[in-house]
Structures are given as C-alpha cells and as structure tokens.
Chains A and B, each alone.
Chain A
Amino acid sequence: MNQPFKGKLSLVTGGGRGIGKAIALKLASQGSDVIINFFRHRDTAEKTAKEIQDIGVKAKIIRANVGDPAKIDEMFDVISNDFGYLDILISNAASGVGRPVLDVDVKAWDWTMDINARALLLCAQRAARLMEGRSGKIVSISSLGSFLVWPTYAAVGVSKAALEALTRYLAIELAPKGICVNAIAASAVLTDALKFYIKGQEAAHQQATPAGRMVTPEDIANVVFFLCSEDAFMIRGQTIIIDGGASVMAPFVSTPGGVNQ
C-alpha cells in the first residue's frame, strides 16, 4: 500500500472521537504514527488508539486539558522524551459554552478562548521546536461560526475567529522553518454527537446544502490529509471552507437541492 506519511509522527488534539478520530485514522492509514490527545473520555481514546494500531502504525494516548498551559507543557514533554520529533499537529480539540452573547460571563469566555484559541498558540510554540528540519504541518479545525452567526455560538465563534487569525500569523512566522500552517472551517459535521442533536431534522440540513448531503468527519479528514501533503506546499495561512457550498448561497434562494433558509 502507498503510505506517503510512513515514518511521520502526528499529534491530534481531541483525537479520541468525532472529527479528531476520523483525522487520526486517516493520517494512520497514510502510514503516520499518531498521538491521540484526550481529556474527559479515556475509554474512547483507548479504543481509537487500538483501531490505529490495527492499521499497523504506532499509537499513543496522552491525557491533557489543552486549556491548561501546564498540561500542554507536560504533554509535549512526554512527546519530546518518547519521540523527540513531530511532523504534524492537528489542533482539533474544542469546547465551549453555548449562551446568548449577553450571558457570556468571564468564566465562560476564558474557558472557551483558552481551549479553542490559546491552545493552538501554545501547542504550535512547542510543536515548532519538534518540527525543526522536518517540513512540519499544522492544521487547525475551525467552523463557519467564525464569520456566520449561530444562536448561542458567540463565545465559540469568536474563539474560532481568533484561531483563524492566529493561523495566518503562524503561517508567516513559521514559514522560514519550513512549516506549513492552515485551517479548515466546517459547517455542521455529521458526527455521532451531532446525529443525536439533529434527530428528525436531517432532511432540512441536507436541503440547505447545495452539495446534497451533510459534511462528514471523513470529508474533513480528507482535506487535512491534503493540507499535510507536499501537494499543498504553496497553501499557507488559509482557512479552507468545507460546507458543500452552504455558506456561499444567498439566503432565501431556491436551489436544485432545496431552499436555503
């Protein structure tokens, strides 16, 4: 089998489940060893690690709350000691407090910003050192909420806007080190968690997407793979939108797929 990432090491934050898991499996299927960072669900992370090992590459799980700088440091200390290098960093872990903007208090704001935006800063700082001379790749997972307004999404949306801006700064400042930095912004992605929330509304979601179906975790993983490949070498500091065309549709317009509301 063709394994372009053989010998590489990837770290996927929040890689135990959902989109992070799909990304971890994709990178592993391309030959990369994978470190799965998790926070509250050890069992799930262990299962994902097992699936990765079954592919035939190395997998390791590391527990760390990426909202806590000391824990990020501990995680990278482990990676430094055990491997001493890193090729790919996927900043995927996210959390957030869903509240109307007037109810976002300092605690909710800090929690969301620390996990979703500051984590990229701190992880990238440590990762850059481990990527020395290895043409590293950094990809962050953002969402359309960075520029579109969804109900109760204020804190997360703002944190994603910060993540995308940071992606641009990192792309320029890490370019001399040979590191490519980009982001992916997705619309609603059909993870197991989301399937639960939108039960009964699948058809409406599908209709609002010109491409005719919802985005899957594998759609994201495929673009992550591309951005981490040498084919994407000249793409820097970009946020690639994966939404089946939903965000470029003008509101209240009929489409072949239905009506965008």
Chain B
Amino acid sequence: MSIEEQIKDIVAEIVRVDKGIIRREGTFKDINADSLDVVQVLLRTEETFDIEIPDEDAEQFQNFGDFVDYVEHHVAEKEKA
C-alpha cells in the first residue's frame, strides 16, 4: 500500500470518517478533526513509518498533500541513510 493510502487509513480510523472524503487538497478542519485527533494522527504516523514529525514542521502543512509529501520525503531519506 502506498504511503498516501496508509496515511488515509490512519486519518480515517482516528477521526472516524470515511476514507473517501480525505483528499490531498483537504485539511483536518474540512473533516472536523479536533486538535487531539491531529496529535494522534501525527503520533500514529510517526510510529507507522518510524520517523519524527516535530510540531514546527507539522504547523507548516497547508493540507493533506503537504503532509503526505513530508512523510514520503522523510521515509525516502531514512531508507537512503
């Protein structure tokens, strides 16, 4: 499964929404996620991919697309190392 699909699964499970409504241009606000949901999505993502997403970085995400790109980039970096 692609990283994007895995992230969508995480978001869908934690925010309890249908996976289909999560789009790259969408935001957490669009799917009514509260701040606790966001923290938990970040935590689960960190654990799933064994990367670290500091708040300073997470605050820069404009939408899910940015989030997915960030994770893909860091997973690739990790595999290179």
**Could you tell me if B55 and A40 are in contact, using CB atoms closer than 8 angstroms?**
yes
By beta carbon, the residue of chain A nearest B42 is A40
Residues of A within 8 A of B43 (CB): 65
The answer to whether the Cβ of B76 comes within 8 Å of any Cβ in the partner chain is no
Query: Tally of A-B residue pairs with Cβ under 8 A?
Result: 17
The answer to whether the Cβ of A41 comes within 8 Å of any Cβ in the partner chain is yes
**Nearest Cβ in chain B — how far from A230, in angstroms?**
39
**Could you tell me if B56 and A97 are in contact, using CB atoms closer than 8 angstroms?**
no
The answer to whether the Cβ of A108 comes within 8 Å of any Cβ in the partner chain is yes
Compute how far the CA of A107 lies from the CA of B14 in the bound complex, rounded to whole angstroms. Answer: 10
**Nearest Cβ in chain B — how far from A43, in angstroms?**
7
**Interface mask (A100-113 → B, CB under 8 Å = 1, otherwise 0):** 00000001100100
Residues of A within 8 A of B54 (CB): 40-43
**Interface mask (A69-103 → B, CB under 8 Å = 1, otherwise 0):** 00000000000000000000000000001000000
The answer to whether the Cβ of B52 comes within 8 Å of any Cβ in the partner chain is yes
Compute how far the CA of A111 lies from the CA of B36 in the bound complex, rounded to whole angstroms. Answer: 8
Kindly state the interface size class of chain A when it binds its partner: 10 to 19
The answer to whether the Cβ of A8 comes within 8 Å of any Cβ in the partner chain is no
**Nearest Cβ in chain A — how far from B32, in angstroms?**
14
Residues of B within 8 A of A108 (CB): 36
B11-56 contacts to A, CB under 8 A, are 35-36, 40, 43, 52, 54-56
Residues of A within 8 A of B56 (CB): 41, 43
Residues of B within 8 A of A40 (CB): 54-55
Compute how far the CA of A111 lies from the CA of B54 in the bound complex, rounded to whole angstroms. Answer: 19
Residues of B within 8 A of A65 (CB): 43
Compute how far the CA of A63 lies from the CA of B36 in the bound complex, rounded to whole angstroms. Answer: 19
**Nearest Cβ in chain B — how far from A20, in angstroms?**
16
Residues of A within 8 A of B55 (CB): 40-41
By beta carbon, the residue of chain B nearest A68 is B43
**Interface mask (B51-79 → A, CB under 8 Å = 1, otherwise 0):** 01011100000000000000000000000
**Could you tell me if B52 and A107 are in contact, using CB atoms closer than 8 angstroms?**
no
By beta carbon, the residue of chain B nearest A38 is B54
Compute how far the CA of A108 lies from the CA of B43 in the bound complex, rounded to whole angstroms. Answer: 15
Top 8 closest pairs, chain A to chain B, by CB: A40-B55, A42-B54, A97-B36, A111-B36, A108-B36, A107-B36, A41-B55, A40-B54
Known contacts A41-B56, A43-B54, A107-B36; can you find 14 more A-B pairs with CB under 8 A? A40-B54, A40-B55, A41-B54, A41-B55, A42-B52, A42-B54, A43-B56, A63-B52, A65-B43, A97-B35, A97-B36, A107-B40, A108-B36, A111-B36
Q: What would be 7 A-B contacts, judged by CB atoms less than 8 Å apart?
A: A40-B55, A42-B52, A42-B54, A43-B54, A97-B36, A108-B36, A111-B36
